[in-house]
Each structure stands twice: as structure tokens, then as C-alpha cells.
């Protein structure tokens, strides 16, 4: 990573599968670092599942030393029980980077889709395709392959890089 590069962690929160993706961003250049998913066992009680996500995300941060993090906003879910559980997983996605001293940004799903694909209503397959085009090394270096959760997390990191650039230009 160069002197002016920033390392960004994108997080796609989920209770069963929490996707994560890390990129380096310098100027206009995006570079793939790593990606994957943290899985919790749906047979475990909620406390154990949240602990699993917390520990897994903390390991990712320790291993890759990102400087900033970004999380996808939650859409409104019709099932209150599912929405509550997703909210608890989102809490993990925010608190673990915050405990590591990272600033954490949040982006709407439509903004992420529009930033990566050019349309705010893109399908998951379109997002994964564009992530592979923007970060061609992502599929080759990831032993899990590029899962949908990891592709979404990389799209979140790409979105943060794009908006980081805009914020930097505005500050100058």
C-alpha cells in the first residue's frame, strides 16, 4: 500500500452471513486486498451467533488493518423478528470497527448499486459482475471464491472510496 493509499473495509451485515471486503484506494486507483464471509450457525442461540460475528470481524480488522469502514443501510423488512435480528448483526458491523478506532460510514443500498453499476436498482449478479470488472483480482485470490455477500461488501467499500474522494475534493 502506497503512502497516500487508504485501506477501506466494506461490511454487508447479516446474522447468518456477514460479508466483508477490503480494498486499497489511492487517487483513482482501487486495489483488491481480501474478502470473505463470516458465518454463524443458525442452530446456536443469538448470543453465540453475535459473538461469532464479533470475533470474526475483529480478526479481519486485526489481520488487514483497515483505516476506515463502511456498512450498508438496512432496508425496511416486513417481518419484525427478522428486522430485529438483522439490526443486532448491524450493531456488530458498527461496533467492532468503532472499537478498533475506525470511522464508520453508512450507505443506502440504492446508492451502492448506482455507484458500482450506474443504476440504483441493479440485481446482485450485476453488482458481482461490476465488482469483478473494477477489482479483477478479487475472484482469483479469494479461497472462498467471490460469494454474493463478499461482492456486496466490496461494492460498499468501492462506494466509500468514491465518496471519500468527493469529500476530500470538497475539503481542499
Beta bridge partners of 172: none
Question: Which pLDDT score is estimated for 171?
Answer: 40
Which pLDDT value is given to residue 172? 37
Spatial CA neighbour of 68 closest among 5, 7, 19:
7
Residue 2 has pLDDT above 60, yes or no: no
Active-site residue list: 12, 72, 149
For residues 101 and 139, the model is more confident at 101
Residue range 116-128: mean pLDDT, rounded: 87
**pLDDT top residue among 147 and 50:** 50
Q: Do residues 19 and 149 lie in contact, with contact meaning Cβ atoms separated by under 8 Å? A: yes
In terms of DSSP bridges, do strands 104-107 and 68-72 run parallel, antiparallel, or are they unpaired? parallel
Q: Tell which residue, 164, 162, 106, has the closest CA to residue 130.
A: 162
- What's the confidence (pLDDT) of residue 120? 82
Q: Which residues contact 15 (CB under 8 A, 6 or more apart)?
A: 40, 49, 50, 53, 85, 86, 88, 89
- Residue length of the chain: 172
pLDDT tens figures, 45-72: 999 999 999 999 999 999 999 999 999 9
Query: What is the DSSP pairing of strand 6-12 with strand 17-26?
Result: antiparallel
Amino acid at each position: 500500500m502506497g503512502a497516500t493509499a487508504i485501506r477501506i473495509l466494506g461490511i454487508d451485515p447479516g446474522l447468518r452471513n456477514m460479508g466483508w471486503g477490503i480494498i486499497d484506494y489511492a487517487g483513482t486507483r482501487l486495489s483488491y486486498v481480501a474478502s470473505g464471509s463470516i458465518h454463524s450457525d443458525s442452530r446456536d442461540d443469538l448470543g453465540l451467533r453475535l459473538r461469532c460475528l464479533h470475533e470474526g470481524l475483529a480478526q479481519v480488522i486485526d489481520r488487514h488493518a483497515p483505516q476506515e469502514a463502511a456498512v450498508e443501510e438496512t432496508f425496511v423488512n416486513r417481518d419484525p423478528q427478522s428486522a430485529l435480528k438483522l439490526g443486532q448483526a448491524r450493531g456488530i458491523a458498527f461496533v467492532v470497527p468503532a472499537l478498533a478506532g475506525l470511522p464508520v460510514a453508512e450507505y443506502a443500498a440504492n446508492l451502492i448499486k448506482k455507484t458500482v453499476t450506474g443504476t440504483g436498482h441493479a440485481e446482485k449478479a450485476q453488482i458481482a459482475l461490476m465488482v469483478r470488472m473494477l477489482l479483477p483480482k478479487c475472484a482469483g485470490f479469494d479461497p472462498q471464491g467471490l460469494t454474493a455477500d463478499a461482492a456486496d461488501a466490496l461494492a460498499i467499500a468501492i462506494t466509500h472510496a468514491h465518496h471519500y474522494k468527493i469529500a476530500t475534493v470538497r475539503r481542499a
